[in-house]
Structure formats: C-alpha cells, structure tokens
Amino acid sequence: MLKKSIAYLLCLCFPLLSGCTPKMSLSSATCSKSVASENPEVSVLNDHLYLKMNIVTKDDNMLYGKPVVSFSELNPNKNLRKFTVDHINDAWIWDFNNRRSLIFCSCDENNSVITSYSFKESQYTPLIHLKDGHAAEFKAINDNYLLWAESTSTDWKDTTLHVYDFQTQKDKVFYNYTLDPKSGSIYAMNSNKCVIRDHTIYFDDIVGIDSDRNYKINLYAYKISDESISLVKEQAQKPFIYQSSLGWFEYDENTGNPVMVLNKSQCSSKKYIIDNGTSMFHFCEDAISVTDLLTMPDTGELFHSNKASSAIYSDKEKKTIDGMGFTLLTETSITPLLVLKGLSLGPTDVNKKAVIWSRIEDGFPMFYDIESQNFVVMDALPKGNYSCVMNDNDLLFINTKTAYLLTLS
C-alpha cells in the first residue's frame, strides 16, 4: 500500500497558496503579538508554546505532555476487530465515513477505480472507474456524498471537482478550476480540502494573480439541490466546520501571516494568527488538532535523560534537528501534547473523542484520548507502518491489507 508520504504531508503545510513573491512570507512573532494585543478576538499560535510544555514521559524520539498508557491494559479487546481488505494494499488515497465504509482509490487491470468497502457487510462495491491516465484526490466525505478532484493527467494541469451521491449512485462534475490564460493550465495544484455541510459544498479556487504576483484565491459554495455556485468570500481558502459554523483561512493585511477565522453564530468571529509557517489543521465539532513542523536543537540528552523537565529547549539554542509538534485547540484551551524528533508520524485527524496519527516508521500506532487525557499505545496490534483514518466513533488502523477497527466507547 502506498503511504501518505512526507511529501504529501508537506504539501498541506503553510504557507498556503500564498503567491509568488516573498511579500507573503511569515512575519515575526513580535509583530503578530502586537496585532493580537490590540484585538481581544485575535490570538497567536506559534512554536513558543512547545518551549514550556510539561514533559510527563519520554522515549527515544518523543516527548509526551500527557500520560501514556497501553491499550492491552486499558481497553477490552471486544471493541477491536480485524479485517482483511485485499484491494487496499494497492490504494493511494482513502477516507472513512460514519456508515463504516472505507472509500479508496486503487488500480485494476485497466484503470483506477474508486471503491467502497463496507465493514458492516464485508463487501466491496466499485463506485467510479476513472479514465485511463486520470489522477484523483479525495477532498471530503460524509454519509451522503464523496467529493474528489480529478485531472486528465498526473501533472495536474487541469482539475475538475466531482461529487458522488451514495444514494443515487451518480457522480457529477460541478466545477472546473480556473485556468491561467497564459499557460492554459491551472495556476497551481490545489491540495486544499473542501467541506460538505448538509447539502452544500464549500471549496476554494485560485482565480488569478494580482499586480504584486500573489495568488487571488476565492472561497465558493455549491448548493447540490439546485446546482448553483455562489461566492462566499474573496481571498479566503481552506474551509472547515467548527462548532456548527463555517470557517476559513485568510491573510492578515498588516503582517502577511495566515489567519484562521472561526465564525460563531451568536457572537463575533474569533481569529488565530498563525506565526509558524508550517502548520496543519484538522477539525471536528469541538476541537482542532494542530500539527507543526519544527526545527529544534539536538536534544539528545533530553530525550535520553531520566530527569524531569518543565521546558523542552531554550528559544536561544541553535536549531539543527527537524521535528514535529502536536497541539489540541479547543474553545477554552491550547494544549501542547507531543514533540517528536524526526518525521515518523504522518497525517493527523481528530474527532470529539480522539486524535489519531498515521505511523510512517515501524512501531505501534497510537491515539490521544481526549476525555481521559491519555496517549493510548495500540500494543495489541503488531508493530509496523500504519495509515490511520477515523469517523465520528471509530478509529481504523491500516497495515498493508489488514485493517483494525476500534470502536470508541
């Protein structure tokens, strides 16, 4: 099975589709903080929160801000089931809905096929046969619809957005990404996710380049019922749903920093200025999982020391090692969870109950239990490389053609 690689991970980072010039580069933390101090509805997210993370435990590569427990000691195995999903061994993209259907794209003898595998019925259902040479990327899924981007070639010079209705078993092309009139191709490959809310799809598109050589990016809404498209906001992208409201990312005009805008139905919007230029975000109804790519000092002594520590490293130390930091953001708190040396954990996801990571290097997969505030190591599974996805109630750990389904209590 082809893993979601580090290259895929990096393409989801900031800077967003920000433009062609250094003008949109990230400003300093001091500049961002001054903006935030003038507006109580603006907060700053940056690397500094990891500097003082309380270290509860550690291993050779990870510093944990919360306790670590083993699944075999904590959970009954009745909630864990094993499945063999043969075709997923050759899949390169997948998603998982609340009907416990795993949707994935793989190759058969002639072309690529988007297939559904039902864990309830242990049954495969081919949904869409892509034309020869076409490439696809999943954008969103729920119990009613699957949304994906498709190109006529793997170089993504053109892109159409498709929606598949699980009930009618029909798909429809509802949007063509804007082409650059000079090149005849799209302005850039757009890996931004989309949102399906009720029967409306929210998506973004690069529609041009301004006089300063920055991309013009607009946020749109497609209403499935009447097949209409409307503009939601200019210069906005990466839509998401948080606390039942639509949110998006934009840029702060004063600093050039990315800004996460949380719209609230009964009060003014909340904004987070993103001071770390390599942050990724995943959303559920009540929580946001933040992944930061870090450059930090060689903290070998810290990772191998038995001494307790209330600080990971000094901000003044020379930073030479690549790493990752993970934070859980809620309405009332910003909690750093984990600092990782290297890049052994892959794409993240979150629901109301847990945060989950794919494991790129050999080892036990794990998740963070939001209610108990513990990391849970899945020691009941064999060590290996795991791709992990989730729906609202289940975690799915995929290793080659074996899938382990864990239902959260």
pLDDT tens across 196-245, in order? Answer: 998 999 999 999 999 989 899 999 999 999 999 999 999 999 999 998 89
Q: Is the distance from CB of 107 to CB of 92 less than 8 angstroms?
A: no
The burial class, CB within 10 Å (0-12 / 13-18 / 19+), for 403 is buried
Between 269 and 277, the more confident residue is 269
Mean pLDDT across the chain: 83
Give CA 103 to chain center in angstroms: 17
312 confidence band (pLDDT: 50, 70, 90): low
Task: Name all domains of the chain by residue range, CATH numbers in brackets.
Answer: 6-407 (2.130.10.10)
The burial class, CB within 10 Å (0-12 / 13-18 / 19+), for 406 is buried
Q: What are phi and psi of 88, to 5 degrees?
A: -75, -15
Between 129 and 23, the more confident residue is 129
Share of the chain above pLDDT 70, in %: 81
Q: Is the pLDDT of residue 397 over 80?
A: yes
Predicted TM-score of the model (pTM): 0.86
Q: Is the distance from CB of 136 to CB of 146 less than 8 angstroms?
A: no
Q: Is the distance from CB of 95 to CB of 105 less than 8 angstroms?
A: no
Token duo for residue 385? 């490389």
In residues, how long is the chain? 409
Contacts of 315 (CB under 8 A, 6+ apart): 48, 51
**Neighbour order of strands in the sheet with 195-197:** 195-197, 200-209, 215-223, 228-234
Q: Is the pLDDT of residue 26 over 50?
A: no
What is the tens place of the pLDDT at every residue in 139-192? 999 999 999 999 999 999 999 999 999 999 999 999 999 999 999 999 999 999
Contacts of 394 (CB under 8 A, 6+ apart): 96, 100, 405, 406, 407, 408
Between 26 and 315, the more confident residue is 315
Token duo for residue 185? 């191709």
Over residues 287-305, the mean pLDDT reads 71
Over residues 11-31, the mean pLDDT reads 36
Cβ-based neighbour number of residue 229 at 10 Å: 12
